[in-house]
Amino acid sequence: MNSYFKNGCYLRLRLDGAGMERFITLCGNRHIPLWAIRADGKFIEVNMHYRDWEQGKELLLKTGTRAVIVKKHGLPFLLPSLKPRILFFLGCMAAVGWLIYSTTLIWHIEFEGNYSITEDQLTDFLVKQGVWVGISKNSLDLESLEKALREEFSLITWTSGKINGTVLEISIKENERPNVIMPVMAAGEATGLYATANGTVVSIYVRNGVAFVSKGDEVKKGDLLVDGRIPVLNEEGETDHYLLYEADADILIETTIPVSLSLEEVYTAKEYSGRESRGVYFSYGQTIYKFPWTAVSWKEKDQLFEPAFQITVNGIQIGLGSFYAKEYQTIEKKYDQEEAETLLYAEFEKNNTILVEKGVQIISENVTIEKTEDFYLLRGGMTVRYAAVETGEIAEEAAEEIDDGEGL
């Protein structure tokens, strides 16, 4: 508090006497900052940091200048006036203390990814595990809770729990393909697997259906790879009828995909002015209110909000915290060749990482960067392997064969 009293507070002084100008000059020589200097008739008013007041009084005596404190700025100067309202002040402190303590508790539990399992079932199970609204965050063992959920519900194949503010978020993934025998389907309901790209079949493993291609075959987009109609032969070796299934297979196709990325030569950048501001904010839902004495009106600024606590009441999130703002101006700059290459290759590698995460195997890359009038362009191609197949209905001719007695 003593440091804040000296550095965060200042006095408004009214100077009088023949040595006013000399006093201001001596303050400048001794690096004592004065600001908001204003002449008012025969007086001069200035602002001075409280930390410099003792040294300033010496200069007042030296120059024969009289000074009257017109106004005191800063929170510590208000403390004496709070003594008659000590109960109100203590009540405010207690309310703030409770709000801070409430941020250590869980006030809401959210579930995501549950379709077959209801929220009531999940909530009842959490209560049995000792997890409910109002529980302390420190008493939660998320790893044990995730394991218990997987053991209790056989449909859950993956679960993740995390704490976001005062909300416990539980994400789960249910088994989308139960381990059951594929039933025989009615006529006209069989499906097939079709190629979605031109390429070469690298591997194929069929679970249901009849393969129309094998390893090493060249395929084109739209070719039927696996037919969901399995023929049943009679004693003469001819097709008597068909069993209809949803075609299912693991197929890997090697193909070449084009690559094209662009980067504008001219871009906008931020040039910071050096002006900064710190303050306090209050949030209600999606609306943020900054306290009047901390709000800034700069046209362009970066802002960082650091919540001290958050609480959810009737589905509305209420919070209090601090914010930090920096003023900047937008200017135009140009990328040079080295910068452009670095950015384009970084974006290229980022896209490749996304492809790998989706199960795409990258075999080789062949890309180059060239400069046009206004752009840098990265172009070329990649050889990749992935499951380039999609499920589709069997052609109508198959259903006609079945209706004519050649099938089911």
**What average pLDDT does the structure give for the chain?**
81
Choose among 214, 280, 217, 221: nearest CA to 249: 214
Q: What is the mean pLDDT of residues 373-384?
A: 90
- pLDDT tens per residue across span 181-224: 344 444 457 889 999 999 999 999 988 888 999 999 999 999 99
> What is the token pair recorded at 56?
């300033």
pLDDT of 259 > 50? The answer is yes
pLDDT of 321 > 80? The answer is yes
pLDDT at position 196, please? 92
> What is the token pair recorded at 137?
């965050």
Quick one: pLDDT band at residue 253, thresholds 50, 70, 90? very high
Choose among 17, 13, 6: nearest CA to 69: 13
pLDDT of 262 > 50? The answer is yes
Calpha distance 386→384 (Å, rounded): 7
Q: What is the mean pLDDT of residues 365-376?
A: 89
pLDDT at position 383, please? 94
pLDDT at position 183, please? 43
Q: What is the 3-state secondary structure (H, E, C) of 107-164?
A: CEEEEECCCCCCHHHHHHHHHHCCCCCCCEHHHCCHHHHHHHHHHHCCCEEEEEEEEE
pLDDT of 179 > 50? The answer is no
